[in-house]
Structure 1
């Protein structure tokens, strides 16, 4: 079936001498993987390898056979050209990390318009704004809502955060119950928006600890979770 849809690139890896396999999150069908034949050599192709940098937003026309095999893209164009996302070293490092996390966590081949819209808006904001040191914290917390394990914040006044149950409680009942400064920092992000990021002041050490808490949370709630390889780059930049 020929499908015209928006797509966000999660990854592209070299396959054979001139081909790429691109993993994209599509508005119409969720996660899809595409074989891009001869894209690294052919100058006549309407597809360019530069279109498939991580988290690039595209308009594509694709052939979806929906048989669990690699699909094919007939046409592609950049839908939202980025100004700084792939050239600013801080933002490009965030892109590497977030793309790896998204590919790790989102695997469903089904449409999720709210999630797609969130990704579109968040990436455009990241491209257009400075002061992005807290962006990945905000982003990971919000993504957990769209994929089904957003913490229950109804008792956020309580001291302990249970990362297994995803709720707050008044006492430590298991080894998964955490308390202290990092949990208090996490609470500050629950009622925040992208436009509040600059007002949340965290030290480098505090931000690193909060990121580790969120990654521990993801590890418990994502089947087959793999620790992101690009985490070391994030730590070098923000710590």
Structure 2
């Protein structure tokens, strides 16, 4: 009898722990969506839908692009970051040393495009579709991509290889409302002096190493104060 009571208590406690963890994750997910929607509303017509790419396109005040697909099961990149290559070229970039298809330099436009495949899920919608609806699908079906960066009080979407797009949890309390985050190492390997990339900030950022430990890593940051 005692063993049964202990087993039952253990099962209840385990379930409670799981539900608590799920609830906490859900809070992060919900707040990530509401804060992302706030960013979309603040940017207004700087966020549009491109039918040819089947993707939402966010354009920063200085011309950087963040794009995310309306459907991860489609044959277009799930997400893309694009930016002016000129500051990187001036800082020593040899475009021929950029790695593979992940870093595409277009000589005609003078821009670098970084496409990502993040999942295979088909997204579901009802009624008119908004950028928020697509982001909600990402949270619902690819929750692992969404994280919280405590140092900057940001939510973000992990794009791969240390690259991210982040936005403030509360824009009223943050002077970095959105940030393009790049891993500088591939650019360093291609000849770039990251401290000389004009318009980008090179520095140490504390991140979770995936094992619950905070570590400092090098990042190139392009922050924006939209208020």
- Fold equivalence (TM over 0.5): no
Q: TM-score range by the shorter chain?
A: under 0.3
**What TM-score do the two structures reach when normalised by structure 1?**
0.25
Structure 2-normalised TM-score? Answer: 0.26
